[in-house]
Amino acid sequence: MASQAYDSDPLVLLKALLSTIEEDIIPLTSKGVSSGNKLFGAAILSKAGLDPQTVSTNNETASPLLHGEINCIQQFFAQTSFPDPSLHRGEGKPPPLSQQQQQRPNPRDCVFLATHEPCSLCLSGITWSGFDNFFYLFTYEDSRDLFSIPYDIEILQEVFRVPAATASRSSSSPLSTNAGSEKQIGGALDEDLEARPLYNRRNKFFTARSFEDLAREVGDRYGEEEEKRWKDEIARVKARYKGLSDTYQKTKTDAAVESASFWK
């Protein structure tokens, strides 16, 4: 059974997630964007010791399905050796091979980390793989506004956000028994739909939290000064992605860089 390290202290958790991004994910992503891949990365950590078990980054030049999270999940289930969660890596170094375990951790005993809020593909991948949580640094709005990648929002809106019933529905629909009142109700429902979140962050399968959520939890436990300190730390790590984004934006227009991705 997993220890309490995962959820007992939001500060310890936030520190471990930020460290994993800086020490493990960013180096991989730096190489990836230079090859024409997006700057999305992911890692799977043990709940017991908050140690990275698998780390990956986007590899859409090979397949449009290899988003950072999906690539990480694929590697997690293909991997044959995992760090022993009872042995902390310390100093940012993984344990030697002699201290690695052969058995794959149960997804329920893991923390899923995504650098960017997972898209619809990755939300499904995380769910189907059995992870009951994930944390993300950048929001959908960040991906759109900071990195010129709007497709996470657009696909959720266009594919999954179903408009309310309108008077144009066939009379066989139970929702179209009163065309006049339905049209009015339909307009109200559509308006309400625009204000709703794009997915349920707390549901029967998983709980999703942003790093900002964790910073607020730190503030609730340790006070406003500590919350501000960690929000500043979050901002510092976020700033490291500007250079990665600049590299990606240059490579995606380079005709010499081949990519399997359709949406760039």
| DSSP-derived secondary structure letter, 104 | P
> H helices within the chain, ranges in order?
10-20, 26-34, 68-78, 120-129, 140-147, 151-155, 179-195, 211-222, 224-239, 241-251
Q: How far apart are CA 48 and CA 33, in angstroms?
A: 32
How confident is the model at residue 261, as a pLDDT?
57
pLDDT value of position 133: 98
Across the beta sheet with 52-57, the strand order is 52-57, 41-46, 110-116, 133-138, 207-210
Report the C-alpha gap between 117 and 260 in whole angstroms. Answer: 22
The answer for residues whose C-beta is within 8 angstroms of residue 67's C-beta and 6 or more apart is 38, 40, 58, 60, 119, 121, 122
Q: Rounded to an integer, what is the distance from CA 109 to the centroid of its chain?
A: 18
Quote the pLDDT of residue 1: 44
What is the reported pLDDT for 89? 54
Q: Give rounded-to-5 percent helix, strand, coil for the chain.
A: 50, 15, 40
Report the DSSP beta bridge partners of residue 104.
none
Q: pLDDT tens, position by position, for the chain (264 residues)?
A: 444 568 889 999 999 999 999 999 999 999 999 999 999 999 999 998 899 999 999 999 999 999 999 999 999 999 988 987 666 555 555 556 556 667 899 999 999 999 999 999 999 999 999 999 999 999 999 999 999 999 999 999 999 988 766 544 444 444 433 334 333 444 545 667 778 899 999 999 999 999 999 999 999 999 999 999 999 999 999 999 999 999 988 876 665 555 555 545
What would the DSSP string read from start to end of 215-254? HHHHHHHH-HHHHHHHHHHHHHHHHTHHHHHHHHHHHTT-
Query: Nearest 10 degrees: CA dihedral of 135, 141, 144, 149?
Result: 30
Structure tokens belonging to residue 176:
């179209």
How far does Cα 123 stand from its chain's mean position? Answer: 8
* Model pTM score: 0.83
- The CA distance from 155 to 121, in Å, is 10
Residue 173 corresponds to which tokens in the numbers above? 């629909």
